[in-house]
Amino acid sequence: MSTATVAKPQAKQPGRGRRLSLPVLLLIIAGVLVLTSIVRIISGADGITSTGQMSTALRLAVPIGLAGLGGLWAERSGVVNIGLEGMMILGTWFGAWAGYQWGPWTGVVFGILGGALGALLHAIATVTFNVNHIVSGVALNILALGVTRYLSKFTFEDAPQGSSKQSPPIDSLGTFSIPGLSDGLQTLNEKHWFLISDIAGLLGGLVTNLSPLTVIAVALVPATWWVLWRTAFGLRLRSCGENPVAAESLGVNVYKYKYIAVIVSGGLAGLGGAFLSIVASNVYLDGQTAGRGYIGLAAMIFGNWMPGGLALGAGLFGYTDSLNLRGGTTNVHALILLLAILLVFGAAYMLWRKKLVGGVITLAISVLMFIWYSSTDEVPRQLVTATPYIVTLLVLALSAQSLRMPKADGLPYRKGQGK
């Protein structure tokens, strides 16, 4: 073993040694909940932690989380999947097409198959022919958009209550609430007590008006973690994304694992698309995904290519999106105060770490946020609409320094190249 090999693990690498432990993460979440409760009481914006707000946030987070899970599977095998948006588009169309003819559960299956079909094209291009992953993904997004618009003219335009840009209505999968627990948490949330009502609103959103597909989507997060981090199959798949040459030398069929990962990735994104056309609304609409595939990719990056972090990121983006859906100009105004307080803590942390320039800039931004909050009563509606995308950019910008992607992610690979 060479000295370079010995010294390499000792070198400081981006994202190494910075992963939060579970107790620290739980402490941070508890602190944010306390601050949110304080902000709610100061601002009077009880809607920021209401059961209805949280339930809507969960419903909006599901397609983002499914797209992010799809990206996680692909990138852990070493394939960058910018094509998640296109796979979601295929999922929405195929899900609606089969759903209005043969029922919603058939639509769910066809949505998965539609996304997997798009993923198969991406896998052929990137794995077999070594096409640049970004180019292939962007091409797939364009292709999916064009294909679904073309097909809609032949399938939906002459259908009852359909048009070239909209499918006929699809039967609902139904919703359910957990008896007793849902009503009890709703009552507790309406008391508006400090912290207790906020926690009740958060938990109430997780047990109220649930779709069966929501439960399946949430269960896929721990299932993905178990498969990828607790099975031999997952170890082999992740080795393809870290060092495919070494994996091949140990007898791993790298091509096979990459194909499996990308197809599963497309199936998950397609499931997210089917959720949009069958659960979130009961019709397919042109442009229905609205960039959620890209936001799912951002949630995956925010989560540092880990299922738990991805779920938190999807929840954050789903929550900001729910503010727009529920007309939350007052709620977004209250969140400006919350952001200003969080920036104060961020500035203090930077100054403690002797990052003077970053700390001073962060503190100055915090002061501007306080001034903005105190000088206005609500925010423009346009800002509420743009909030999910603004949060996406801010989160990626602030977390970029502590991330570590799989080492071979996006790199070309040819069988036997290590020989």
pLDDT of residue 328: 66
Check if the beta carbon of residue 410 is closer than 8 Å to that of residue 78: yes
pLDDT tens digits, one per residue of 208-253: 999 999 999 999 999 999 999 999 999 999 999 999 999 999 999 9
Question: In the chain, which residues have pLDDT < 70?
Answer: 1-22, 327-328, 398-402, 418-419
pLDDT of residue 398: 67
pLDDT of residue 110: 97
Q: List all residues 6 or more positions away from 9 whose beta carbon is below 8 Å from its beta carbon.
A: none
CB atoms within 10 A of CB 165: 15
d(CA 100, CA 404): 43
pLDDT of residue 380: 82
Token pair for 181: 């627990």
d(CA 112, CA 17): 37
- Whether the model clears a pTM of 0.75, i.e. scores above it, the answer is yes
Q: List all residues 6 or more positions away from 46 whose beta carbon is below 8 Å from its beta carbon.
A: 40, 192
Taking Cα atoms as reference points, which of 32, 54, 34, 33 lies closest to residue 206?
A: 54
Query: Which domains, from first to last, does the chain contain?
Result: 52-303 (1.10.3470)
pLDDT tens digits, one per residue of 134-148: 999 999 999 999 999
pLDDT of residue 34: 92
Taking Cα atoms as reference points, which of 190, 173, 216 lies closest to residue 62?
A: 216
Strand partners, 166: 163, 285
CB atoms within 10 A of CB 285: 17
